[in-house]
Each structure stands twice: as C-alpha cells, then as structure tokens.
Amino acid sequence: MSFALPSLLYDYAALEPHIDALTMQIHHTKHHGTYINNLNGAIQGEHGGSLKGLSLEAICRNVNSAPEAVRTTVRNNSGGHWNHTFFWTIMAPSGTAASAPSGALKNAIESQFGSVDSFKDQFNKAAAGRFGSGWAWLCMNQNKQLFITSTPNQDNPLMSGIAEKPGLPILGLDVWEHAYYLKYQNRRPEYIAAWWNVVNWDTVAKYYDEASSGKAPVLDVPLQ
C-alpha cells in the first residue's frame, strides 16, 4: 500500500477571490502530489523497509529514526504530505463554516493572547516573518496551552527532535511562495490577510478538542 492524494472538500475555485483557482489546482495536484510520490518512493525503495506500514503521523513523529539514506527525503516529503493534507481541511468557502472562533476555542485564544485580534496579529507576524519557505502554526503544548510558532520548509510541530517548539497543530498556514505567488506575487502579508476569510473555524475547533484530549488532528490520509 502507498499514500494517495486526498480529495478536496471543495472545488478549486471555491476559495476565490482570496485564493485563486489556478493556484489551488497547481498546489494540490502538482506540489502536494509530488510530495506523496517522493515519500512513496522512499518507503518502497531499498532503504525504506522500517517505514512500511507506518501511518503518516507516525512517520512525521519519528522522522529522526528513519534510515539515514532516506531521512532527509522522508523528512521533507512526509512533512509536505501531512502539512498539505491538514491545510486543505482548515479552509472552506466563505459562508460555509464559522467565520470566527467561538466556545472553548475562543476562550482559550483570549486567555492566551488577550483577544482574537491580538492572536491574529501575532500569527500574522510569525507567518510574514518566516524567512524563505515554511509554515506558521497555532498549536497546543503538553500543558494544554496554545502557542504560535513557525517551521522552515515542510517541517511541522509533530516532528520530535526537529521542531523548535513541538506541539499539536490546530491551525496552519503555508507561506511557501507557491501557495500565493500567482495572485499576490511578493505581497505575502496581503495573502496572509486574505487567508483569514477562508479559515474553517469549525474544523479548527474540532482539532482543538482533539488536542485537548492529547491527539493530533485526525486526518483522512488515503492509501492506494
């Protein structure tokens, strides 16, 4: 069995005008698809035996234990697969999901950051300030406190021994140029500001509840 590209829950054009259809199509089929193909190649190759049968989450969590010959490939591409699978789920067309956090999630954000607006400001700074390619994250630590962090390339906070601030992600933003360059060119802050219009707060709340129970986001990771 090998990993397969997950289907989106919305059309490529559904996030317009905030994220354009062509970017979504290329991002999903080409970029995400390439991470999956590379990961499958590493697992199925001569050095990937110990990785066969592991879940995507388990591979990310234990990437430092991957065989040295494929460790960098596995790190980059398992992260790329998990990060994008997660990313698609925390977006939705405007008007189809909660447009702001509420309930326990809102209370936690306000408790940790002072207000939702203050949280967004701090998250925006982490996303805009990530040098080069990477991600910005809202996570929960082992003390059930929320925190903001960013990671380079396709690293994520699940990666033990790699992430500067490990935790359970509940929200994440891709700030690689391929996520926004066709529409926003070098205007990353404009992309970040527009992205809040398509955040699926219902799903973020679900991931918050899962993290509160000590679980990473439960993602649909198809196999073929």
Annotated binding site for Mn(2+): 27, 84, 174, 178
Q: Is the peptide bond before 17 cis (omega within 30 degrees of 0)?
A: yes
* Structure-block tokens of residue 134: 């990477």
Gap between the Cα atoms of 210 and 191, Å rounded: 28
Q: Is 154 exposed, middle or buried (0-12, 13-18, 19+ CB in 10 A)?
A: buried
Assess contact for 166 and 158: CB atoms under 8 A: yes
Residues belonging to the binding site are 27, 84, 174, 178
Quick check: helix, strand or coil at residue 66?
A: coil
